[in-house]
Homo-oligomer: A and B are copies of this chain.
Amino acid sequence: MARDLSIAVCQTGPIQKSAQRPETVDRLVALLEKAAAAGAEIAVFPELALTTFFPRWRIDDRAEIEAFFEPAMPGPQTQRLYDAAARLRIGFALGYAELARVDGARFNTMDLVGQDGKLVGRYRKIHVPGSSEPEPGTTVHLERRYFEPGNLGFPVFVYRGVRVGMAICNDRRWPETYRMLCLNGAEIVLIGYNTPLLLDEAPAQAHLRMFHNHLPMQAGAYQNTVWVAAAAKAGVEDGQALIGGSCIIAPTGEIAAQAMSLDDEVIVHRADLDLIAVCRKVNFDFARYRRPDQYQLIADQV
């Protein structure tokens, strides 16, 4: 019997600093309803989908920082999204700023939630880019000021019988991300991102930002024979232009569906999971062809 899973990518337009959580959660619920109406069985939202991309600023006020973080998921203001999932029978992956319950550590996190509205699994961003202090002359963000590096590895979870992994923004540029998820058994990789259009440190590369968004995801899909579904936060957010280009990529590396706006938008594709085996057969029979004894440096050297 053919195996498939209908995937929705829920891109959002900008979420301004002035937006209140209930208003933002309304937008996410509306997107989830559209995804479910289109027959999708799982949805992915962007990185930090509940707030503006606050690491673009240096903030010193503790209360102002804490307001961007979620001490519990779901919390009083996000519960409605989880209720919608259970009502619509569609799970989702959601990026948010996590304040860890146990020790107060902060992570850039994505949770996978099931069709019953309950947590299935959690991923914490491994490749946290940027710095902890502003670097003049660059667009380097301050993610390292606000987030610790992820400490949960590259886990893969079973969702409706399908093995699902997650990655967040900068993670998608590194080939190791897809390889680790693939070796852990992933069939689908869900990604959320916030990516500025303009970089002060490389002004001549503005035309490459979309290419550099799709290239590593397409290669990751092809080289690991996985489906990739990636959701952008797009448009001009608090004065900074973010690229869109949300997409669903087949294990062939082809873009099967792509967002056409910089606004709230849903794209859906029914992912044929049997295509993975076909692609494996052509070039990527791992058991037969990989040479891990030749790769040790990858795990030894920065």
Contacts and interface: CB of A to CB of B under 8 A. Distances in A.
Given A211-B253, A223-B173, A297-B184, A290 B302 contact: yes
Interface in A225-280: 252-254, 278-279
A294 B208 contact: no
A71 interface: no
A294 B282 CA distance: 29
Interface residues of A, number: 54
Interface string A289-302: 11111111111111
SS class of chain A's interface: helix, strand, loop or mixed? helix
A280 to B, nearest CB: 10
Contact of A252 (B199, B208, B254): B208
Contacts of A22: none
B129 A283 contact: yes
Interface of A: 126-127, 129, 149, 153-154, 170, 173-176, 179-180, 183-184, 199, 201-202, 205, 208, 211-212, 215-216, 218-220, 222-223, 252-254, 278-279, 281-284, 286-287, 289-302
A292 B283 contact: no
A153 B294 contact: yes
27 contacts: A149-B291, A173-B223, A173-B284, A176-B291, A176-B295, A183-B301, A184-B297, A201-B281, A201-B282, A202-B282, A205-B278, A208-B252, A211-B254, A212-B222, A215-B215, A215-B218, A215-B219, A215-B222, A216-B222, A216-B223, A219-B220, A219-B223, A292-B299, A292-B300, A293-B299, A295-B298, A298-B298
Nearest to A282: B202
A180 B295 contact: yes
A175 B295 CA distance: 10
